[in-house]
Chains A and B, each alone.
Chain A
């Protein structure tokens, strides 16, 4: 019995990789499909990003920027107060460049409690549960 510690998705977008990359990384384009309110992106390793929905907000820290092929960030949905799961986007050029394969992996769900345990000695299960609940609400509101 195993619980997956990550979410994996793959899709093909009928557009050149450069175009997909811009939609993924430029704040004005990102806000057209991801958060419904606003996005700010400081696109460099260590840079901060903020995604804002009507009822939720997420802060992210950019880890890897390899234009136009790979973007990795850790994100902290509101209330979690520390780096959370890691989200990785990989863009692969297909055929003659008219299409792009997008791979998404969000990982680290089961490893987060380690971080929490070091910060709060007791009741960390409860704290984690609370934070997960917040994440869930945030995800469902998004």
Chain B
């Protein structure tokens, strides 16, 4: 897992339209820009531009079919970004375990409990 990939993925997904594109492609992909523009209220040109960002982040790829590009998702970049989030989760698991251990190690009987 590299931070570079995760970084590019999060940057690409920061935009709500691009998240929408990803959503549509994951549901019904591969789709052409025309098909995407029918589902998302932005122009075909705008879709193509957003798609470039997704492609740069390794999240999607285009295949030329006739006169149009067909867009589909690539899973690897998603997997890396997910792994990155899991690493952050694992760090919290450790911290919270230490939190619990610390708090529970201090006796808090009825007297201690009402102290403050």
Contacts and interface: CB of A to CB of B under 8 A. Distances in A.
Given A1-B22, A1-B73, A11-B100, A131 B85 contact: no
B14 A9 contact: no
Given A4-B85, A112-B10, A139 B91 contact: yes
Contacts of B116: 18, 22
A34 B101 CA distance: 12
Given A3-B9, A129-B4, A136 B87 contact: yes
B7 A130 contact: yes
B88 A19 contact: no
B103 interface: yes
A58 to B, nearest CB: 12
For chain A, which range describes its interface: under 10, 10 to 19, 20 to 34, or 35 or more residues? 35 or more
Chain B CB within 10 Å, residue with most, of A111, A125, A134: A125
Interface of A: 1-5, 7, 9, 11, 13-16, 18-20, 22-24, 29, 32-34, 97-98, 102, 104, 106, 109-114, 116-117, 124-126, 128-137, 139-140, 142
Interface of B: 2-15, 19, 22-23, 25-26, 56-57, 73, 75, 78, 81-82, 84-85, 87-89, 91-93, 95-96, 98-104, 106, 108, 112-113, 116
20 contacts: A3-B13, A5-B13, A7-B88, A7-B92, A9-B96, A19-B112, A23-B99, A29-B102, A110-B13, A112-B14, A114-B15, A125-B57, A131-B7, A132-B3, A132-B6, A132-B10, A133-B2, A133-B3, A136-B3, A140-B87
